């Protein structure tokens, strides 16, 4: 199924002839990604009449390019103003925002863009080559395996709360409780919805996301003149092109991090329903686990920014594989792509790569072209994007809150969701002031409902037998790896202290 090099080069050249679609879609994607609450999915829905009017190959290229560019653009507000406008960028502020506050926003953006472009190019090429094997991943990872994958992400709660595990666990369980608000997936019985019909479909993710991070941060920084620290303000004002080059250099130094976290995102992206949020959290957790300096994560550590950005861009190419091979969309954006292709009478399946190579392989080559174009287009803009940080909070905070409230409204067009964002902003502010980690709350909100869905699905298939959780060979391997990842930090500390004790004696 993988094309020969000559065929691939011909497709690449043919894709370049669609420059009149690729360039505007790339620019639009960056803008859409940078606006909190907007996403490729709702933008494509708005532009659906245009995509339906295009030829199938042209429409597919437009949607893929928009999706790719928006994924990269989502890192901009996550780093600069602590607003992860999409779930896939939820782990980016953990190390990106501390870098920006310290006056290294330009460098952080350069790291994010370089890691995103590098991982995107590598995983897209890998996807083209490995399509026959990656297409089988969805057949082997079922509910049981996905439960363990979710637990990898949820275990990040304990990881990021190393300074105060009790508060970290309280925050995490609080997030899980919030995540379970709404109608349950079996009997559709409402739980904790307080009579609000708007909560029957669970707590809306984007309002919770921007409230916990952005609005709560706005309440905190309003007490200062700027978002930047004093040292950061001085450094930001004196910055030239040097920080951009430093960010590129720092990413190249950690090239192994870019590759393996990107490939992790690719594999998770192939699993329908998994998505960029799971990939970014799992990549961050595993990156911290395997680091020789895990204590630096959360303070503006370069690998801590590379891991989620590489992983969530690795997901983009992985999402297309189940869509094109088995006709099962891997996410919301892929589902809209499926609607457009079905409208044009395109039949999904392995035969698509033979009958319509410009739609099948052309989607991946369009993604590859987009990442190359993004590398040249967006890296020179890091210096100007980072200037946002020097705007006084007197002006920044009202603009920030206004954007976040609009972003909270856009996904479902409910005024109620704006109130949800404000409530979560207050919760986040109280959490910050009392030493609870808002990221731990967010992990519970995002991953909790997904864990419940897969868990109940597994129990329904097994008719209530809990033994099903250990009935899969791949699942059991993942259970062992999860246990090792949870116990490894404590074991490492024990061995280090024992070694120091022996040396002292």
Residue 88's alpha-carbon distances to 6, 84, 102, 143, 160, in angstroms, are: 35, 8, 24, 21, 18
Query: What is the pLDDT, as a whole number, of residue 302?
Result: 94
Query: What is the pLDDT, as a whole number, of residue 263?
Result: 94
Query: What is the pLDDT, as a whole number, of residue 377?
Result: 87
Give residue limits of the domains in the chain: 5-471
Helices (H), 180-328: 205-210, 216-221, 230-237, 242-253, 255-270, 275-290, 302-326
What are the backbone angles phi and psi of residue 180, rounded to the nearest 5°? -90, 0
Query: What is the pLDDT, as a whole number, of residue 253?
Result: 95
Query: What is the pLDDT, as a whole number, of residue 63?
Result: 92
**Residue-wise DSSP of 160-196:** HTTT-HHHHHHHHHHHHHHHT-EE-TTT--EES-TT-
Query: What is the pLDDT, as a whole number, of residue 355?
Result: 79
The ranges of the chain with pLDDT < 70 are 1-5, 7, 37, 85, 138-139, 158-163, 186, 228-240, 273, 330, 489-490, 492-496, 500-505
């Amino acid at each position: 199924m993988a094309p020969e090099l000559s065929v691939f080069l011909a497709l690449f050249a043919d894709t370049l002839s669609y420059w009149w679609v690729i360039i505007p879609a790339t620019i639009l994607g960056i803008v859409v990604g940078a606006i909190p609450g907007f996403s490729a999915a709702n933008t494509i829905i708005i532009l659906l009449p245009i995509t339906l009017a295009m030829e199938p190959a042209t429409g597919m290229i437009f949607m893929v390019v928009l999706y790719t560019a928006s994924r990269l653009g989502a890192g901009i507000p996550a780093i600069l103003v602590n607003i992860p406008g999409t779930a896939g960028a939820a782990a980016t502020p953990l190390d990106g925002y501390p870098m920006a506050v310290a006056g290294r926003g330009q460098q952080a953006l350069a790291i994010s863009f370089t890691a995103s472009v590098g991982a995107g190019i590598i995983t897209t090429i890998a996807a083209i080559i490995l399509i026959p094997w990656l297409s089988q991943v969805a057949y082997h990872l079922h509910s049981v395996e996905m439960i363990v994958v979710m637990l990898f992400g949820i275990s990040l709660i304990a990881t990021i709360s190393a300074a105060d595990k009790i508060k970290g666990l309280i925050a995490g369980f609080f997030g899980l409780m919030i995540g379970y608000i709404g109608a349950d997936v079996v009997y559709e019985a409402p739980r904790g919805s307080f009579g609000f019909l708007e909560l029957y479909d669970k707590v809306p993710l984007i309002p919770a996301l921007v409230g916990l991070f952005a609005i709560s941060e706005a309440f905190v920084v309003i007490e200062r003149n700027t978002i930047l620290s004093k040292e950061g303000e001085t450094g930001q004002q004196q910055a030239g092109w040097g920080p951009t080059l430093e960010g590129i250099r720092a990413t190249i130094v950690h090239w192994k991090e870019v590759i393996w976290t990107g490939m992790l995102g690719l594999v998770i992206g192939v699993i329908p329903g998994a998505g960029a949020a799971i990939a970014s959290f799992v990549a961050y957790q595993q990156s911290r686990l395997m680091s020789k300096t895990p204590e630096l994560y959360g303070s503006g550590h370069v690998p801590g920014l590379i891991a989620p950005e590489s992983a969530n861009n690795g997901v983009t190419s992985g999402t297309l594989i189940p869509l094109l091979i088995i006709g099962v969309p891997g996410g919301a954006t892929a589902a809209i792509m499926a609607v457009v292709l079905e409208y044009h009478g395109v039949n999904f399946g392995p035969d698509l790569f033979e009958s319509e190579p410009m739609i099948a392989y052309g989607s991946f080559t369009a993604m590859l072209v987009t990442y190359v174009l993004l590398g040249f287009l967006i890296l020179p803009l890091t210096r100007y994007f980072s200037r946002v940080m020097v705007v006084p909070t007197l002006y920044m905070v009202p603009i920030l809150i206004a954007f976040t409230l609009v972003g909270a409204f856009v996904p479902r067009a409910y005024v109620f969701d704006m109130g949800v964002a404000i409530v979560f902003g207050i919760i986040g502010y109280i959490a910050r002031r009392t030493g609870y980690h808002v990221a731990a709350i967010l992990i519970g909100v995002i991953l909790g409902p997904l864990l419940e869905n897969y868990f109940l699905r597994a129990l329904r298939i097994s008719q209530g037998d809990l033994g099903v959780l250990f009935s899969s060979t791949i699942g059991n391997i993942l259970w062992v790896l999860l246990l090792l990842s949870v116990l490894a930090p404590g074991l490492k500390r024990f061995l280090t202290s024992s070694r120091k004790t022996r040396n002292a004696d």
